[in-house]
């Protein structure tokens, strides 16, 4: 039963730099089973007080086999600054049949390579963080997350033309090509949007759609 639970929820995190350690620590705080793999003895010692950590070289598939990496359904390769190691580790995980492989990249070229060898999800943390800040600075958007292939979710202040109208009456899907997922009106809890959800002044909207269409909608006064 233990292996079955691990297959369902366990996450293997390879590399405990800033990205990997923050990810592993957050997962652990969420009560997700985590096993971290790191080659740096100092990092192993530092994090072993908080997380299950194994000192091993994940570029060696035999080391991954010995620590039971194939028992995890998800793995994160967070050694992005070492391109060769990142590629070798990802390839090892692909060969082992890990169902969900996330990998950190440091450039678009690096991202293309990781995708081609079989990583299911590749992230560019600094680039994506920069994009999120850029969309927030001086604009209506409060948060911006590009999910995949241009599909984006944003949180923004409700444009003036939406005030005092219900989501159904506005038909933002037909007018702007965007879909309101949720609404947080002043002094009220977040609620998933229905056609009868009223948008009050100073409301926050969670809206999904194609990135360019969301940009245009967010520029409305």
**Predicted pLDDT at 164:** 94
**Predicted pLDDT at 4:** 40
Provide the edge-to-edge strand list for the sheet that holds 141-148. Answer: 141-148, 151-157, 204-210, 178-184, 191-192
User: Among 151, 120, 149, which residue's Cα sits nearest to residue 214?
Assistant: 151
Regarding whether 113 and 165 lie in a shared domain, the answer is no
Please report how many Cα atoms fall inside a 13 Å half-sphere around the Cα of residue 210, on the Cβ side.
5
Last residue of a domain, one of 107, 123, 139: 123
**Predicted pLDDT at 1:** 33
Give how many domains the chain has, as a whole number. 2
**Predicted pLDDT at 7:** 41
Q: Which range of residues forms the domain containing residue 15?
A: 2-123
User: Among 26, 28, 51, which residue's Cα sits nearest to residue 38?
Assistant: 51
Q: What Å distances lie between residue 44 and 126, 135, 155, 158, CA to CA?
A: 24, 37, 38, 47
- Give me 8's structure tokens: 């369902």
CA dihedral sign of residues 199, 200, 206, 208: positive
Regarding whether 177 and 147 lie in a shared domain, the answer is yes
Regarding whether 153 and 116 lie in a shared domain, the answer is no
**Predicted pLDDT at 216:** 83
User: Among 106, 151, 127, 39, which residue's Cα sits nearest to residue 114?
Assistant: 106
Give the pTM.
0.64
Last residue of a domain, one of 101, 123, 145: 123
**Phi, psi angles (nearest 5°) of residue 55:** -85, 110
Regarding whether 135 and 100 lie in a shared domain, the answer is no
193 within 8 A of 180, measured Cβ to Cβ:
yes
Polymer length of the chain: 221
CA distance linking residue 185 with residue 33, whole number of Å = 36
Extract the residue ranges of the chain whose pLDDT is less than 50.
1-8
Question: Residue 87 belongs to a domain with what CATH number?
Answer: 3.40.50.720
CA distance linking residue 114 with residue 119, whole number of Å = 6
Total Cβ atoms within 10 A of residue 19: 19
CA distance linking residue 145 with residue 196, whole number of Å = 26
**Predicted pLDDT at 127:** 58
């Amino acid at each position: 039963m233990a292996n079955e639970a691990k297959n369902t929820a366990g996450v293997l995190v390879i590399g405990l730099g800033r990205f990997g350690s923050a990810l592993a620590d957050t997962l652990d705080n969420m009560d997700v089973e985590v096993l971290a793999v790191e080659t740096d003895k100092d990092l192993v010692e530092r994090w072993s007080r908080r997380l299950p950590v194994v000192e091993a070289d994940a570029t060696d598939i035999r080391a991954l086999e010995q620590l039971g990496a194939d028992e995890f359904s998800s793995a994160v390769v967070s050694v992005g600054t070492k391109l060769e190691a990142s590629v070798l580790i990802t390839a090892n995980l692909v060969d082992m049949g890990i169902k969900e492989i996330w990998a950190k990249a440091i450039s678009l070229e690096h991202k293309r390579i990781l995708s081609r060898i079989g990583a299911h999800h590749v992230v560019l943390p600094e680039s994506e963080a920069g994009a999120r800040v850029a969309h927030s600075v001086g604009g209506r958007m409060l948060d911006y997350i590009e999910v995949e292939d241009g599909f984006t979710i944003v949180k923004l202040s409700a444009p003036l033309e939406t005030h005092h109208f219900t989501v159904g009456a506005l038909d933002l899907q037909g007018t702007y090509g965007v879909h309101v997922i949720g609404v947080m009106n002043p002094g009220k809890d977040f609620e998933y949007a229905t056609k009868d959800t009223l948008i009050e002044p100073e409301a926050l909207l969670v809206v999904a759609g194609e990135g360019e269409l969301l940009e245009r909608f967010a520029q409305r006064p």
